[in-house]
Structure 1
Amino acid sequence: MERDRISELSDSILLHIMSFMNTKYAVQTCVLSKRWNHLCKLLINLIYSPIPNLPKKNGVERFKKFATWVLSTRDHSCSVHSLRLHLCWTDPELLDKIIKYSLYCNVQQLILDVYSGFRPDFESLPLIFCSQSLTSLKLCIAWNYAVIVLPKSLHLPVLKNLHLQCVIFTASDNDSAQPFSNCHLLNTLVLRYCSLHGDAQMLCISNSTLSSFTIYEGQTYQILLSTPNLSYFTIRGSASHQLFSRCNLSFLDEVNIDVSWDGSWAEKSSIISSNIMRWLQVLANVKKLTFSSWYPFQIMLHDFSNPLSMRPESPSLVRLESLKVIKHFFVDVSDEKVNTLVEYLLQGSPMAKVDIITRD
């Protein structure tokens, strides 16, 4: 008879293996033997992810079973390391209870990726945004049907990674929002489909520890960087954001500009081109610059046909070591025009390596 080597493993090793499983399947291990009966009650990673394309009614019922097990059967003296809810249809009160429970158990990683049908003003929000245990938070609401309004300041002293989608920032003073200054360990920030409340005009990213910042499409507003240790910056989607900085970003290593096609570009090419040039002036200390879509380069080429007197001021990219441009294979533009624009951008760094990469 073959030995049961799995059951010979210690509880800590088995729990570590189970921590990578969807909670539904981890709980099902309790039927294997008496040895396994208590292990699922000690799970520290709680993961709920429904079957793809599951009807809403079935999804609500499945989540109800998951929540009931967590709230009634799990060993409450055991802390929660992470709670991950993916594409979840649920009753808002039940969702509230799960979030409050995980925060009570000092959850460190919280991922809420939920459908937009739930009520956005659930009671656990204030608890989330002043948690003393959270090190990673991802809050994603599908599209714009339900939008969460954030407090003026997030008091998350040990938070390192923050991903926000479809939230509204509240202005603190002078028509500007400054939500991140009390996140004293924040390292990575991702914003997508975010907007400003009321008459606010500017989002101030004020944080001395922030190293990586990515902003996707969303409402157009001004962005003020007060991030002296920023190393990686990515801007995707819209080219309409205005970018400013209170510091010279002397540690900036990589910048990625991935602007998508906008059908109205032909009408406002000079405005967009000038805007991108202003971005580069703010990000002038970058070492590696990548245009990962062709469109921003295309719009600058279009505007570059203007007389010399009308061209925007060339950015002084004095630390630039490499420039990479992704060019679509169907683009019909001469190498001479591309090279002229490249030379214009690299006036302050003529020794920088240049790669023009053609892709499908």
Structure 2
Amino acid sequence: MARDRISELPDTLLLHIMSFMSTKYAVQTCVLSKRWNHLCKRLINLTYSPVPNLPKKSGVERFKKFATWVLSTRDHSCSLRNLGLHLCWTEPELLDKIIKYALVCNVQQLILDVYSGFRPDFESLPLIFCSQSLTSLELCIAWNYALIVLPKSLHLPVLKNLRLQCVRFTASDKDSAEPFSNCHLLNTLVIRYCSLHDDAQVLCISNSTLSSFTIYEGQTYQILLSTPNLSSFTIRGSASHQLFSTCNLSFLEEVNIDMSWDGRWAEKSSIISSNIMRWLQVLASVKKLTFSSWHPFQIMLHDFSNPISVRPEPLSLVRLESLKVIKHFFVNVSDEKVNTLVEYLLRASPMAKVHIVTRA
């Protein structure tokens, strides 16, 4: 009989190997032998993803089995490194139980991409935002397209990466929301389809450690940056946000502007173009500027070619080293028009390299 060399490996090594497996297959190793039966109970990475095209009722039952196994069978003395719930429907009580369990086990990385047909109580939500162990959090919890309202401040002292989708920020001072100032190690922040609660009008991104910030489309509001160590800024899908800063962003290395086309933009190109220019005034210390879609550049071209358009104040991109523009191959625009806008953008940095990249 062939020697079972895999089973002879130490538990720590086997658990490390199993951490790269999906939870479903890792748990199935329990049928191999008595040793494996106990080994899978000590998994440190737990993820759940539904079977594609599975009916909602069946999906709820499958998640219930997954959660029941976690809550009743897993070795509770083992810390939990990662819990990921992806695109699953669930009952609110069960979701609360499994989130609370993960927090008790000092979970470090938490992904919640969850939908429910009715409003859950979410007793666990306040516990998430004061966790002492979380280093990474991705949160998208929605019921009937309503949005979760976050507390005024997130108290996550060791959090480094945060992705928020479909949430609402609460004002902490008059009309301003300032949720991130107590995340003292935060490095990366991504917010998408988010809005402000009640009468709040300004989202203040106040954090001295934040290095990378990405904002996607969502409700229109003002964004106030108080991020002295910001090195990367990306805005996608919307040109409506107004951007301000309390610092000179002297460490800003790259800015990426990416907007999808909206047929109504031709009617208000002057407003959008001016808004983009105001962004660039705030982000004037950038070294690498990329228009990763043609549309924002196209809007500015349209505005610049309008004889009645009022040109904004000249930009002062004095640190700019490179300008990159992604141009669609079907775009028919003269090099002269493109060069006019490029020269305007590079007025304070004529030695910057220019890359016009044509893509399908």
TM class, shorter-length: over 0.9
Could you give the per-residue CA deviations for residues 9-51 of structure 1, whole angstroms, max 9, x where no partner exists?
1111110111122222211101101121110111111111121
CA distance in 2, matches of 1:322, 1:307: 29
Matched with 1:19 is 19
* Alpha carbons 2:285, 2:318 under 8 Å: kept: yes
CA contact 2:118–2:144 (8 Å) conserved in 1: no
Matched, 1:46 2:64: no
**Separation (CA, whole Å) in 1 of partners of 2:140 and 2:309:** 46
In structure 2, the CA distance between the partners of 1:116 and 1:337, relative to structure 1 (3 Å rule), is farther
Is the contact made by 2:119 and 2:143 (CA closer than 8 Å) also made in structure 1?
A: no
Q: Hey, what does 1:358 align to over in structure 2?
A: 358
TM-score by length of 2: 0.97
Match of 2:61 in 1: 61
Q: Give the counterpart letter for 2:358 in structure 1.
A: T
Label 1:272 to 1:149 Cα distance change in 2 as closer, same or farther (>3 A): same
Q: Which residue of 2 aligns with 1:301?
A: 301
Ranges of 4+ aligned residues in structure 1 off by more than 2 Å: 115-121, 141-144, 306-309
Are residues 1:150 and 2:150 paired? Answer: yes
Q: Is the 8 A contact 1:277 1:314 kept in 2?
A: no
Counterpart code for 1:232: S
Report how far residue 141 of structure 1 moved: 3.3
Partner SS state of residue 134, structure 2: coil
Separation in structure 1 between the aligned mates of residue 332 and residue 223 of structure 2, nearest angstrom: 34
Q: What amino acid sits opposite 1:302 in the alignment? A: H
> CA offsets, 1:266-292, max 9 Å, x none?
111111000000000000010100000
State the 1:199 CA deviation. 1.3
Asked if 2 retains the 8 angstrom alpha-carbon contact of 1:116 and 1:146, the reply is no
Q: Secondary structure of 1:88's partner?
A: strand
Any residues of structure 2 matched to 1:137-216 within 5 Å, and which? 137-141=137-141, 145-216=145-216
The correspondence of residues 1-360 of structure 1 with structure 2, limited to 5 A, is 1-141=1-141, 145-307=145-307, 310-360=310-360
In 1, are the aligned partners of 2:208 and 2:228 still within 8 Å (CA)?
yes
Distance 2:144 2:357 in 1: 36
* Contact map agreement 2:303 2:309 (CA 8 A) in 1: no
Q: Alignment RMSD, CA only?
A: 1.3
Secondary structure at 1:243's aligned position in 2? strand
SS across alignment from 2:57: helix
Deviations 1:185-210 (A, max 9, x none): 00000000000011111100000000
CA distance in 2, matches of 1:273, 1:129: 38
Task: Give percent identity, aligned residues only.
Answer: 88
What are the ranges of 5 or more consecutive residues in structure 1 without an aligned counterpart?
Answer: none
Q: Which deviations, in whole Å up to 9, do the C-alpha atoms of 1:295-316 show, x marking residues without a partner?
A: 1101101110244982011211
Where structure 2 has 5 or more consecutive residues not aligned to the other structure, the ranges are none
Alignment check: 8 A CA contact 1:143 1:166 kept? no
Q: TM-score, normalization: structure 1?
A: 0.97
Distance verdict in 2 for CA 1:163–1:144, change over 3 Å? farther
Counterpart-to-counterpart distance in 2, 1:337 and 1:95: 56
SS of corresponding position for 2:339? helix
